[in-house]
């Protein structure tokens, strides 16, 4: 793999490609290009160490943040400050491609752990929660229905 070529990871039907690694920014930021299948999304959670920005490139995504929900179409973005309970769910019948911008960088290691272990929810929650704890994230509730 060339220095400019990023590896694509797969977990639960979602692809993750880190296009800016934290070591390329002195740890300040990382950017993950992600494509999620229709109707997919994680359980509610909190990132304790980093802010997260979603930039929707294709499709649509329902974003829930501390009890408020909105739908984002391609070309829209949302900023999620660290410590904020949130989740998302891909809407419609098409995949949603979005950039996940993490400041500081480092959380993308969680995606690498999940892909390497091929962990499933809820079958492997102890392993998933162990990685989440190492990456300073906690789960707080169910995914959007």
Output the domain CATH number for residue 57.
Answer: 2.60.120.10
The pLDDT value recorded for residue 5 is: 64
In a domain, 138, yes or no: no
In a domain, 128, yes or no: no
Tally of domains within the chain: 1
In a domain, 144, yes or no: no
DSSP annotation of 24: G
The pLDDT value recorded for residue 6 is: 76
Q: Record the pTM.
A: 0.91
In a domain, 42, yes or no: yes
Most distant CA pair in the chain, distance: 43
In a domain, 74, yes or no: yes
The pLDDT value recorded for residue 121 is: 84
The pLDDT value recorded for residue 2 is: 45
In a domain, 100, yes or no: yes
With 0-12 / 13-18 / 19 or more C-beta atoms within 10 angstroms meaning exposed / middle / buried, residue 83 is exposed
In a domain, 72, yes or no: yes
Q: Tens-digit pLDDT profile for the chain (145 aa)?
A: 444 567 899 999 999 999 999 999 999 999 999 999 999 999 999 999 999 999 999 999 999 999 999 999 999 999 999 999 999 999 999 999 999 999 999 999 999 999 999 999 889 999 999 999 999 999 999 999 8
In a domain, 142, yes or no: no
Domain assignment of residue 39, given as a range: 8-108
């Amino acid at each position: 793999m060339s220095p400019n070529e990023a590896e694509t990871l797969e977990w639960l039907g979602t692809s993750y490609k880190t296009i800016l690694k934290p070591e390329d920014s002195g740890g300040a930021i990382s950017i993950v290009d992600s494509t999620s299948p229709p109707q997919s999304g994680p359980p509610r959670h909190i990132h304790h160490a980093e802010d997260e920005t979603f930039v929707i490139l294709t499709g649509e995504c329902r974003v829930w943040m501390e009890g408020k929900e909105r739908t984002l179409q391609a070309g829209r973005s949302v900023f999620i400050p660290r410590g904020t309970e949130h989740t998302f769910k891909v809407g419609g019948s098409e995949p949603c491609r979005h950039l996940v911008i993490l400041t500081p960088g480092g959380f993308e290691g969680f995606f690498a752990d999940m892909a390497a272990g091929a962990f499933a929810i809820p079958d492997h929650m102890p392993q998933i929660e162990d990685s989440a704890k190492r990456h300073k994230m906690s789960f707080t509730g169910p995914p959007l229905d």
